[in-house]
Amino acid sequence: MAPLRITVIGTGYLGATHAAAMAELGFEVLGLDVVPEKIEMLAAGRVPMYEPGLEELLAKHVAGLPGSTGRLRFTTSYEEVGAFGDVHFVCVNTPQKHGEYGCDMSYVDSAMASLAPHLTRPVLVVGKSTVPVGSAQRLAEKLVELSPAGDDVELAWNPEFLREGFAVQDTLHPDRIVIGVQGERGEKVLREVYETPMSEGTPLVVTDFPTSELVKTAANSFLATKISFINAMAEVCEAADGDVVKLAEAIGYDERIGAKFLRAGIGFGGGCLPKDIRAFMARAGELGADQALTFLREVDSINMRRRGHMVELAREAVGGSFLGKRVAVLGATFKPDSDDVRDSPALNVAGQIHLQGGQVTVYDPKGMDNARQVFPTLGYADSALAAARGAEVVLHLTEWREFRDLDPAELAGVVTDRLVLDGRNALDPLRWRAAGWTYRAMGRPRA
């Protein structure tokens, strides 16, 4: 039997990584995006975003690059994709709708509608995007209706759990593989794709459409809840003069709780957790199950409160008003090892201070271009030291390794006031205090 030929539709964080990973597993892969500039970059082995390890994986497989396997190619043509593929992975994004909680399905809908007319033989279409429960059923019917091959086109749902910054590692070595299927072919084909020596020992959960869609939103809701739980504890610690970092360590030793995702600070952001919990609430409402998820509203508001709280701490630190005050902001991305500033708590805090009259200067190791695009009126500097020059307060808002490695004594030489607020509980208070800084963090005693 000839090896399966795979296509990947949508080449953002998810799709570009999935395409490269499929080539790494030995498949012939064709990636598609509707943005020609992205395709040109990928075809030249360059990644349109910052994702550690992805460029190296592309270099190994993109056709035409010296020494590559040639297994990975890119196109903008659905016709080509339809003619090539036996399995089509749909990896386009599902952002939050403008001005409301629900999920914008227009990219998924249009990818399916563009692909379907080119499906002339039995194939499997696999959705990987995060979608409201019920979407897979609707899309499966649509595909049969719009495809020349009709019933011979089957859909499977296969949610993706990768984290930005670890996309390659998470894709090649996932914790689990979840497959939602209706027919037998879906499971058989996806087992052929995923059951490789590399995935030995990885649990494979086979289930129905709605459960597979819900697994993803449930997982992200749980993670968001865990972060907001520890941030709620941080609020109580502040009121009671307790230390949330010690508290998290102590409860994390209980294996039932676990130490991960208990880092208190300015909260979660990014293209997934915030919009996923909102879309989940909206969908539950449509299904008449809104009461089941009212707690997520609280999870969201605890999270958003953290940003406001950081702004208040900074305002208090500079004497009650930002007017005429210089504020250095270290970090713009929603987390380290990414250039993504979507719904970034760091950029949001910087923006709020700027709008309240502060003179904000931001530095981020990888997120500067994206931050400038989203917030062009902020000040930007090309190093932490330059951002801190003349600052009355330094805010540490994204926990890049570069910031943990800063020399507080060197920074002390350029600021106006040695005052640092750690919004991620990631700097070493002893080092900063030893260099003469007043160090304050969220949910920790003032000392």
Q: Which residues are tagged catalytic?
A: 272
Residues 198, 208 contacting (CB under 8 angstroms):
no
Please identify which residue in the block is written with the tokens 């970034």. 344
> What letter represents residue 228's amino acid?
S
CA distances to 170, 178, 206, 392 from 187, in Å: 21, 10, 7, 60
Tokens in use for 441? 């963090």
If one counts every other C-beta atom within 10 angstroms of the C-beta of residue 431, the result is 15
Cβ atoms < 10 Å from Cβ of 314 = 27
Residue 18 engages ligand UDX in binding (rule: CB under 6 A):
no
Binding to ligand UDX, residues 208-227 (CB under 6 A): 220, 223, 227
Under rule CB under 6 A, residue 234 binds ligand UDX: no
Q: What backbone torsions phi and psi does residue 396 show, to the nearest 5 degrees?
A: -100, 110
- Strand, coil or helix: 10: coil
Asked if 126 touches ligand UDX (CB under 6 A), the answer is no
Q: Pairing between strand 153-157 and 177-181?
A: antiparallel
Minimum CB distance to ligand UDX smaller for 86 or for 213: 213
Q: Please tell me whether residue 123 binds ligand UDX under the rule CB under 6 A.
A: no
Q: Is 48 in the site for ligand UDX (CB under 6 A)?
A: no
Decide: is 164 part of the binding site for ligand UDX (CB under 6 A): yes
Q: Is 273 in the site for ligand UDX (CB under 6 A)?
A: yes
Q: How far apart are CA 403 and CA 385, in angstroms?
A: 10
Which C-beta is closer to ligand UDX: that of 85 or that of 174? 174
- Considering only the stretches 97-105, 157-165, 314-322, 433-441, report the one whose residues sit in contact with ligand UDX under the rule CB under 6 A: 157-165
Should residue 168 be labelled a site residue for ligand UDX when binding is judged by CB under 6 A? no
Site stretch for ligand UDX (CB under 6 A), options 1-9, 36-44, 93-101, 263-271: 263-271
CB of residue 423 to ligand UDX, shortest distance in Å = 10
Question: Any idea which residue has 């979608």 for tokens?
Answer: 131
CB 429 to ligand UDX: min, Å: 18
Cα–Cα distance measured from residue 350 to residue 279, given in angstroms and rounded to the nearest whole number: 26
**285: its two tokens:** 């409402």
Using CB under 6 A, pick the residue from 12, 267, 358, 443 that binds ligand UDX. 267
Do the Cβ atoms of 264 and 244 come closer than 8 Å?
yes
Given the rule CB under 6 A, which of 21-29, 94-102, 137-145, 158-166 is the region that contacts ligand UDX? 158-166
- Residues 331-350, mask of contacts with ligand UDX (x by CB under 6 A): ---xx---------------
CB 313, min distance to ligand UDX, A: 16
Contact 18, 89 (CB under 8 A): yes
* Helix (H) or strand (E) run with residue 32 in it: strand 28-32
Q: Which of residues 164 and 300 has its CB atom nearest to ligand UDX in the complex?
A: 164
**Euclidean distance between CA atoms 72 and 62, whole angstroms:** 5
Residue 16: φ, ψ to 5° = -60, -40
Identity of the residue, 325 or 342, whose beta carbon is nearer to ligand UDX in the bound complex: 342
Quick check: 261 binds ligand UDX (CB under 6 A)? Answer: yes
Distance (Å, rounded) from C-alpha 390 to C-alpha 377? 19
Should residue 163 be labelled a site residue for ligand UDX when binding is judged by CB under 6 A?
yes
CB of 280 to ligand UDX, least distance (A): 13
Q: Give 43 or 103: the residue with its C-beta nearer to ligand UDX.
A: 103
Residues of this chain that interact with ligand UDX (CB under 6 A) are: 161-164, 220, 223, 227, 261-263, 265, 267-270, 272-273, 334-335
